[in-house]
Every structure is written in C-alpha cells, then in structure tokens.
Structure 1
Amino acid sequence: MSQAPAAVDAHLRENLVSRAELLQGHFLHVVRDTVRLPSGREATREFVLHPGAVMVIALLDDGQVVLERQYRHPMEQVMLEFPAGKLDAGEASLLCAQRELLEETGYTAREWAFAGRLAPTIAYSNEIIDIWFARGLSLGERHLDEGEFLDVLTATPAALQALCRSGEVIDCKTLVGALWLQNVLRGDWVLDWGHACADPMNAACAG
C-alpha cells in the first residue's frame, strides 16, 4: 500500500515553532523562523516572503519572442529577460500577466495559455512564478512604472537558445522559459490556449 506524501517525507520535514519579523520594506519582507528538525533539535531559517509573480512568453506572428533588457541593481548589469512582474495584492495570475505585458512592452494578446510554475530561489524565498504564453499580439503604448527603464526587443527562439547556451542569458526564469518554449515548439509539451479579455487593465478579465 502506498504511503501519503506527508508520511513519506516525515523524516525530512521541519515544523514551525515561532516566527520573528526581520524586515518589512517596500519590496522585501524578511522573516526568521525557528523550526524543529526531524531529529528533534531546533534551528533557524531566514527567508524572504514573496506574493508571487508571473512571466510571459509572448509569441509574435513571425515566430519571434518578446524580450526585455533591464538593469538589475543587485547584479550591477543589464539583464536579458522575458517580461515579468510581481502580483499585486489580490490580483489574479492571468490579469497580472496581461497587465505586465502591456505595461512593460505595449503588447496585448488575443490568446493566453498557462504553462506551469517555477520556484527560482527555494533556499531563501517562497517566491513562485507562474509561466504564461501569449499569442495573437497587437502592439500599443507602454505604461512603464515611475523609475522603470527597459528596452523591448524581439529574437528568434534559436537566437534565444544560443544566448542561453553562451551564458549571456543567466536569469533563472528566462532560462526556464526558454526550456518551455523549446518543448512547446517541438510539440513535446502541449498548451491549452484560451481567449483573453480585450482589455487587460479591466478587473473583469481576471476570471
């Protein structure tokens, strides 16, 4: 008889004893948890609480994908990435994906497909990024946030793969996105496409 996952993992799990707040900043929320180890001893775990985010793999009619170049201060360099952004409080994942694509690139999409999720920093954050594909793109005006500066560009999937292979792309979510893109284009991973609301800034599209 197969065991339930909780029973299977009992020898690995840690149980929360208490939590202390370390930092509540404008962007980061850092806590220190005291946990009880499987051995019975106690240890501390410091990590970042995150509301979640989305990443968009936007497919143009000519087969190219939409990318961004943005300066990332912790890395002290400009990074090549897929469009992405953090969920607002209470915001649905699809609505966030539509909003971020429009705000950062000016594109809206006729069809959307949820691909999967990734946890980019499991050792020190509970962040989860939802991966969305978009197609049937129309270009309009960007609506960048105050203090946000980025370039929008397009590339063929082959060019993107080459950049990942050469090490010019090191952003985790973009590397995972390139893997998804490769498998979708080969037909190995199938997406369930659906029509989206025409106005991604309308809360009624969140359904």
Structure 2
Amino acid sequence: MSDNGPSSSAPDGQSRGAEASPGPRLASQGVDVTVPARIVSSSTVYRGAIFSVEDRRIALTGADGHETMIRRQVVRHCPSVVMLVHDEATDRYILEREYRAGSDTFAYGLPAGLMDAGESVEHCALRELREETGVVPDSADDMRFESAGDCYSSEGMTDELVHILVLHLRAWHEAGRDFDPDEYVDSSWVDWPTLCASPIRESNAVIALQHEMIRRLRRT
C-alpha cells in the first residue's frame, strides 16, 4: 500500500486504472453506463445545521437511446477529515469517545471534523486536532501526513467526501481546546494494542487503522 491509500481492483485482478478488456457481463437492465446520468430536477426538502436533503429526478439512458427516469434522495454534506494521530516519541495514538446520534452510543473514534469553504485538507486536520485535543505540532518539520484515501461515506445516499489521514508527530505542544457549544469529546493517548482492541465501528477510522497497521507490519 502506498501513502496514497489502497488501490481498487477490478474483478479480473487488474487495477481499476489499467487498460484491460472487460470480462463477461453478469446482468444488465439495458442502461448504457457510458452515458452520464442527467439530473432533470432537484429540490431541497430539508435544510439543517450540518446537512440538507435534496429530492432528485434523474434520467438514465438505455441501450436503445431512450431515457428512464429514477428518483433519489441525496444528503448534501460538506467534505470532512478523519485522522489517526501518532506520537512517534512515545508510539502512542489519540483515541476519542463522544456521543454519536446515528448509532445512539458513546462511540470510540478518531479526531475528525468538517472542512470550511476553501480550506485545505491538511489545514482542516490541524485545526480540528487543536480544537478537539489541544495538540499542536511544534513546527512543519515536526509532522508528516500520510493519505489513507478519499472515500465517500455512502455514495448511494450522500455526497460527503471524507479525506482519511495519518498524522505522524515528532514533537508537539499543548494549546487550549476550542469546542463547539454542543460538542463533548473525551480524548486520550493510548498504545497501539489498546487502540486496536478498541471497538471502533466508524468505517473511515477503520480505514485509517488498517493503513497504519500495514505500515507497522512493513517496519518489522
């Protein structure tokens, strides 16, 4: 695995980017997947503080050239960052726990947050890390980012793109934390075995852990 994350594989074992003739098709409902879908209409049916919901009518082109209409609801959500933070001096990692409404539990996870408009991925990661934990790298030379991939949370229902990172810190200091008014996060430094034994169920955090696991295995 490179620092750019895992590469997807086609069913025949060829990498997705490789030039290869397609294998036999398993099934088809007559939609021409080489023709881009066309959004016929889209209306916002819900708007909240973090996301909105759009009701869309979409035209898919059939093999005979005729269009078929489908209807989908899309959760519109700004991009976000999830990061696994590693203190190289002590070989420890930041583990967080906070209430998550979707799973209705105090879930274990990693530092994460929403990107502001025009904000770079790395700037967002460092901002969220300071706001949630107070951890600030001493300098640009005292940190190293690895990308574990950019993944859609659930591309069948939302446009949220999550940037998954591993941040290695050589030296850092502690600054004041800055939570949102309704944000409550418990964080601590743990060793690698404790982190791996933690019941983390959030998919993007799992990807970050697997990326780091491969790095550690290659080091041994």
Q: Which runs of 4+ in 1 moved over 4 A?
A: none
Displacement of 1:105: 0.6
**Does residue 34 of structure 2 align to residue 10 of structure 1?**
yes
Partner residue, 2:201: 170
For 2:177, which of 125, 139, 142 is the aligned residue?
142
CA RMSD of aligned residues (A): 2.1
CA distance in 2 between counterparts of 1:38 and 1:186 reads: 47
1:36 is matched with which residue: 49, 53, 59?
59
Q: Which stretch of the first structure deviates more once superposed, 48-57 or 107-116? A: 107-116
Aligned residues: 178
Q: Is the 8 A contact 2:166 2:208 kept in 1?
A: no
Q: Give CA deviations for 1:128-158 in whole Å, capped at 9, x if unaligned.
A: 1112222123333211121211111122223
The answer to whether structure 1 residue 57 and structure 2 residue 84 are counterparts is yes
1:79-98 maps to which residues of 2 (within 5 A)? 79-98=107-126
Which stretches in structure 1 are left out of the alignment for 5+ residues?
Answer: 189-207
Partner of 1:203: none
Structure 2 residue aligned with 1:113, among 139, 142, 145? Answer: 145
SS of corresponding position for 1:185 = helix
Residues 65 and 157 of structure 1 are in contact (CA less than 8 Å); yes or no, is this contact kept in structure 2? Answer: yes
SS at match of 1:146: coil
Determine whether 1:157 maps to 2:198: no
- Percent identity, please: 22
Give the alignment's TM-score, normalised by structure 2.
0.74
5+ residue gaps, structure 2, are 1-18, 21-31
- State how far apart, in whole Å, the 2-side matches of 1:51 and 1:66 are: 24
Identify the structure with the greater helix proportion: 1
| 2:153 counterpart SS class | coil
Aligned partner of 1:100 in structure 2 is 128
